[in-house]
């Protein structure tokens, strides 16, 4: 028997949920609205909510500045590169632990996890000095490497939980039919692993796109992704709100859309399987 739900209760919970959802979303909504105002109206007091002169000139200005495109490209290269590199290293490792586990697999997994818990700031000094001495400061390669290592434990962990769900009987059956390891990987495992791979890729792209410790400390201009570009708006306080909003909207819109698709994987990825 389904629980009886009175229509009054539905209306009350609907009203409350929409109210709180709106309050939480308000800063983002306000930012998007401001991005369509003139700089003058962005400061207007009392603020204008919908009835202002809508303009897209801020987007034109931001896009027109060659440096925005440069930093956006850096974000794509750094986030994409570090994610792909991490997948390349993590797929074999996760495959190995899921399909050829040993007595130590659990310890290795937990040890990998514990490396993620080391605070970045604890190794800031040596990393900064190593990067300085090897000429890696403010290079895309340097950022790709550090973000890849930082996210590697999460990537391995997520892939492991996905691979674990693939029934082993299927592999046995394939082997009975005389499939070699190579064929088994390509024809049996890969198709079944693609959804897990896709969501791992997506979540880690998001994490790398938003990473703001190493990017702020290890890049300034040439390799600086959008996190650093936006941070540069903090110095001339309050002069370019509309342009700041337009640049911010462009920087977060693709990620919010990707994020909405991956909300379920988010839980799995960020709690290391502790909450399902």
Cis peptide leading into 46, omega within 30 of 0?
yes
x/- track of binding to another protein for residues 38-57 (CB under 8 A): ----xxxxxx----------
x/- track of binding to another protein for residues 175-214 (CB under 8 A): xx-x-xx--x---------------------x--xx-xx-
Q: Rounded to the nearest whole angstrom, what is the least distance from the CB of residue 48 to another protein in the complex?
A: 11
Binding residues for another protein restricted to 60-99, rule: CB under 8 A: 89-90, 92-93, 95-97, 99
Cβ distance 272 to 113 under 8 Å?
yes
Strand (E) or helix (H) holding 179: none
Cα–Cα distance for residue pair 90/116, rounded to 1 Å: 14
Single out the segment in contact with another protein by CB under 8 A; choices: 55-63, 65-73, 188-196, 245-253: 245-253
Cβ distance 148 to 82 under 8 Å?
yes
Phi, psi at 224, each rounded to 5° = -65, 120
DSSP state of 123: G
Nearer to another protein, 128 or 198 (CB): 128
Q: Rounded to the nearest whole angstrom, what is the least distance from the CB of residue 191 to another protein in the complex?
A: 19
Q: Rounded to the nearest whole angstrom, what is the least distance from the CB of residue 194 to another protein in the complex?
A: 19
Q: How many CB atoms lie within 10 A of CB 51?
A: 6
Cα–Cα distance for residue pair 192/95, rounded to 1 Å: 13
Residues in binding contact with another protein, number by CB under 8 A: 108
Indicate the length of the chain as a whole number: 276
Q: Rounded to the nearest whole angstrom, what is the least distance from the CB of residue 180 to another protein in the complex?
A: 8
Decide if residue 227 touches another protein (CB under 8 A).
yes
Binding residues for another protein restricted to 111-130, rule: CB under 8 A: 112-115, 117-130
């Amino acid at each position: 028997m389904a629980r009886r739900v009175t229509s009054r209760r539905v209306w009350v919970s609907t009203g409350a949920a929409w109210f709180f959802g709106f309050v939480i979303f308000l800063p983002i909504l306000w930012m998007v609205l401001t991005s369509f105002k003139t700089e003058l109206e962005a400061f207007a007091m009392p603020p204008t909510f919908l009835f202002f002169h809508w303009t897209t000139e801020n987007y034109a200005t931001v896009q027109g500045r060659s440096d925005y495109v440069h930093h956006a490209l850096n974000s794509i290269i750094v986030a994409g590169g570090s994610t792909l590199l991490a997948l390349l290293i993590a797929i074999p490792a996760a495959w190995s632990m899921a399909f050829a586990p040993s007595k130590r697999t659990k310890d290795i997994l937990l040890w990998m996890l514990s490396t993620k818990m080391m605070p970045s700031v604890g190794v800031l000094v040596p990393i900064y000095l190593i990067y300085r001495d090897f000429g890696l400061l403010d290079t895309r390669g340097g950022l790709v490497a550090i973000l890849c290592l930082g996210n590697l434990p999460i990537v391995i962990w997520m892939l492991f939980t996905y691979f674990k769900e693939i029934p082993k009987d299927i592999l046995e059956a394939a082997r009975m039919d005389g499939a070699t390891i190579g064929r088994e990987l390509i024809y049996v495992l890969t198709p079944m692993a693609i959804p897990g791979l896709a969501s791992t890729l997506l979540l880690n792209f998001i994490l790398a796109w938003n990473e703001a410790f190493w990017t702020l400390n290890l890049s300034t201009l040439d390799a600086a992704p959008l996190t650093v570009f936006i941070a540069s708006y903090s110095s001339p306080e309050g002069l370019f709100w509309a342009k700041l909003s337009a640049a911010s909207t462009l920087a977060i819109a693709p990620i919010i859309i990707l994020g909405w698709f991956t909300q379920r994987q988010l839980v799995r990825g960020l709690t290391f399987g502790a909450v399902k």
